[in-house]
Amino acid sequence: MKIKRIEAYQVDLPYAGGVYRLSGGRTYESFDATFVRIVTDTGLDGWGESTPFGSTYIAAHARGVRAGLEELAPAVLGMDPRQLDRINDAMDMALMGHHHAKTPIDVACWDVFGKAAGMPVCDLLGGRIPGKVAMISSIGSDTPEAMRANVARHREMGFMGHSVKIGAEEAEGGPMIDAERIQACLADRRPGEWFLADANNGMTPEHALRLLSLLPEGLDFVLEAPCPTWRETLSLRQRCRVPILLDELVQSEEDIIHAIDRDACDGVGLKISKQGGLTRTRRQREIARAAGLVASVQDTTGSDIAFAAILHMAQSTPRHMLRQALDTRSMVSVTTAAFDAPLQDGGAEAPDAPGLGVTPDMDVMGDPVAVWEA
Ligand SMILES: [Mg+2]
């Protein structure tokens, strides 16, 4: 089987909640998504998506995905899409880094592989672990009471995990308001619920230490991505008793090995396009597993196709290490594909259909913005 044609599509995905706010005053209202369709000489095709979380989240941006595809697509034309490590080797030879550009090709190849084998992608990634995967809520920064109410709304919908966004600037209330936000969100905590306080790399160690000193003992939560650099993170780590999960700092196998070597964290946030596709996310998951780290499986937003990749990865991740997955569909107001994995009681299960199990809506996709042919 050979890749004979690669098509790229572009779709704007408005944020479903109006304005999404992250630490440091960053705001997002719409996400620029790139989709890749791979067509083989057998007639089978596969789809992948890469939607960076704006240009200020990590070193990834939407036009960079499409510029990267210009370098990558010619390198994989003619290759067997089922040979995923070889596909990734060829992409690495054509372009260093740029995980967000490699992701839609990698994911589309997994989709083809699954269709060719007659198996869902989760089975190819190690095997389905039956049952629904629990999804995490995303509680944007707001007043403590508004955030408490938002947690309650998600609790009513069945969510057992909540990602609470913190990292207020001093003028906004700084560590004091962050401490109030965490306490408000945990105030009605039920047994089995899991809370992240996610600063998205937006705090100094000084901010984090002041915040932690303001909290009473015994609050059960994990601090996610407190600081923007390894130095700051390691400094905080030595002086803090709260478990730490790293996200933006961990983007590759090397980063996970570095985190383990320095004992920098207790868990990692695996985002499919941040880690470089399903092939690399699986490698990083296995390294994390061997080190006894927990993991969440997410992406840097995205629509139905990004969620399909997330769900197949999460569905094959051992439950003892899996700390929730993200339903990116709930973040955007556009549906790009039919994907039979409804959200029920805060969870979803990957379908049994071969491949990812997605059927893209070609009216939404429109005409390709680029085509490469062997
Ligand atoms: Mg995060």
Cα dist from 151 to 113, 147, 180, 189, whole Å: 39, 6, 14, 9
Phi, psi of 368 (to 5 degrees): -60, 145
Q: Distance between CA 36 and CA 222 in Å, rounded?
A: 35
Out of 3.30.1330.10, 3.65.10.10, 3.30.390.10, 3.30.70.920, which CATH number does the structure's domain 3-118+362-373 have? 3.30.390.10
pLDDT tens by residue, 197-254: 999 999 999 999 999 999 999 999 999 999 999 999 999 999 999 999 999 999 999 9
From the candidates 2, 102, 132, 165, which is the catalytic residue? Answer: 165
271 Cα–ligand 1 center, Å? 9
Tracing tokens 């051992």 back to the chain, one arrives at: 318
361 Cα–ligand 1 center, Å? 29
Query: What per-residue confidence (pLDDT) applies to 182?
Result: 98
Q: Distance between CA 369 and CA 34 in Å, rounded?
A: 9
From the candidates 4, 115, 132, 271, which is the catalytic residue? Answer: 271
Strand (E) positions, 239-315?
244-246, 267-271, 294-298
The pTM for the full model equals 0.97
Instruction: Summarize the confidence of residues 34-62 as an average pLDDT.
Output: 96
226 Cα–ligand 1 center, Å? 9
248 Cα–ligand 1 center, Å? 7
pLDDT tens by residue, 289-301: 999 999 999 999 9
CATH 3.20.20.120 occupies which residues in the chain? 124-358
Active site residue 102: no
357 Cα–ligand 1 center, Å? 27
94 in Cβ contact with 75 (< 8 Å):
yes
Q: Distance between CA 22 and CA 27 in Å, rounded?
A: 6
CATH 3.30.390.10 occupies which residues in the chain? 3-118+362-373
Question: Nearest to residue 104, comparing CAs of 33, 14, 15, 4?
Answer: 33
Q: Has residue 22 got a pLDDT over 90?
A: no
Instruction: Summarize the confidence of residues 86-98 as an average pLDDT.
Output: 98
| β-strand pairing of 3-14 with 370-373 | antiparallel
229 Cα–ligand 1 center, Å? 15
Q: Which of 15-29, 31-45, 83-97 has the lowest mean pLDDT?
A: 15-29
200 Cα–ligand 1 center, Å? 5
CATH fold of the domain at 124-358 = TIM Barrel (3.20.20)
Q: List CB-based neighbours of ion ligand 1 within 5 Å.
A: 198, 247, 269
